[in-house]
Amino acid sequence: MVEVSVVIPTVDRAALLDRCLGGLTRPQGVDFEVVVVHDGDRGIRAVLDRWAPQLPLRDLQIAERGAVPKRNAGWRAARAAVIAFTDDDCEPAEGWLRAGLDALVPGVDLVQGRIAPHPADADVTGVFARTLDQPTATDTYPTANLLYRRAALERVGGFDDAFWGGGEDTDLAWRVLESGGRAAFAPDALVHHAVRPADLAAHLRSLPRWATLALVLRRHPQLRRLLHRRLFWKRSHPAALLAVAGLVLAVTDRRALVAVLPLAARRLREAGAADGARLAVADCVEVLVVLTGSVRYRTVLL
């Protein structure tokens, strides 16, 4: 009998998926299946063929590339009453599923586990390097490491397709909680998250998806307590907002460029000349992205 279905959405990241599936070959202490949802990439298929003899692996291909339709397709096709979500850039540790399932006691609908940067990626550095480090419970509930009762997912309809960007995992968790569910944290349910390099251009390309953070706040205004001054996504954004205003006004009055100085001084002090300048540019683009989301979803996030 399958006790847990592990759902992994993936797109074009064969090397990371390979490491993820390798982690699941370690003893987990439960009977489980792995549902990998993909869109037919040849590299992904080669990885699935490699691990199929060693894992209870199910191959689910859908046309949509986004994480939301892939996760929804995965849990709906799953056979177990408990769904464990992780991502293709994560590697579960030994006993991950056992520790998570043990925390799913009666009355609990959702268990989040511990996330740590992958030790094999310790040499990946840079101001835009990406990873997740979640040593304790968080109100954002990233799908890198979550277990749900299937009944809870069915109760709220799963992930919402309105989230074309980020925040769909936070929204789902809070809809489950607001429907009467309870959450628990399992520190021994560990996954290691890849540390991925990124330059400024790659970082800027990744930002538009965060416009949907405003939708999370519109639906769950209690999460404003997580923001800086209940309005700003990041602590650098008050200065970035001022800088953006100065750059706009400088089109007609160059004296407005003085408004850029607080952000520039802050970032140069924190990261030096080159990285500080890159971070300041990123801050300004981030503010523009969340402002766009604020307008679209009619709630203020700066």
The pair of structure tokens assigned to 234 is 């990041």
Instruction: Kindly tell me if the per-residue pLDDT of 1 is higher than 90.
Output: no
The confidence score (pLDDT) of residue 227 equals 98
Q: Say how far apart CA 162 and CA 175 lie, in whole Å.
A: 14
Q: What percent of the chain has pLDDT over 70?
A: 100
45-54 pLDDT per residue, tens: 999 999 999 9
Q: Kindly give the pairing relationship between strand 82-85 and strand 146-149.
A: antiparallel
CA 137 to chain CA centroid, nearest Å = 15
Buried b (16+ CB within 10 A) or exposed e, 291-301: bebbeebebbb
Which residue carries 């749900």 as its tokens?
A: 148
Per the prediction, the chain carries an average pLDDT of 97
Q: What pLDDT was estimated at residue 41?
A: 87
Sheet-wide strand order for 4-9: 57-61, 32-38, 4-9, 82-85, 146-149, 110-117, 183-193, 90-92
To the nearest whole percent, how much of the chain has pLDDT over 90?
97
Tokens linked to 48: 């699935």
Per-residue tokens: 161: 């397709």
Model confidence at 157, pLDDT cuts 50, 70, 90, reads: very high
* pLDDT tens digit sequence for 83-129: 999 999 999 999 999 999 999 999 999 999 999 999 999 999 999 99
Ordered by where they begin, the domains of the chain are 4-198 (3.90.550.10), 218-297 (no CATH)
Indicate the pLDDT class of residue 25, thresholds 50, 70 and 90.
very high
CB 115 within 8 A of CB 133: yes
Nearest Cα to Cα of residue 206 among 130, 301, 123, 133:
130
> DSSP class of residue 225?
G
Helix axes 237-249, 261-297, angle to 10 degrees: 90
Q: Residue 225 CB: number of other CB atoms within 10 A?
A: 8
Task: Tell me the pLDDT tens digit for each residue of 160-213.
Answer: 999 999 999 999 999 999 999 999 999 999 999 999 999 999 999 999 999 999
Query: What would the DSSP string read from start to end of 159-214?
Result: S-TT-SSS-HHHHHHHHHHHTT--EEEEEEEEEEEP-B---HHHHHHHGGGGGGHH
Q: In terms of Cα–Cα distance, which of 264, 285, 275 is closest to 199?
A: 275
Q: Helix, strand or coil for residue 26?
A: coil
Helix (H), strand (E) at residue 85: strand 82-85
**pTM of structure:** 0.95
pLDDT tens-digit readout, 42-77? 999 999 999 999 999 999 999 988 999 999 999 999
Rounded distance between C-alpha atoms, residue 41 and residue 280, angstroms: 36
Return the sign of the alpha-carbon dihedral for residues 140, 141, 143, 149: negative
pLDDT(290) > 90: yes
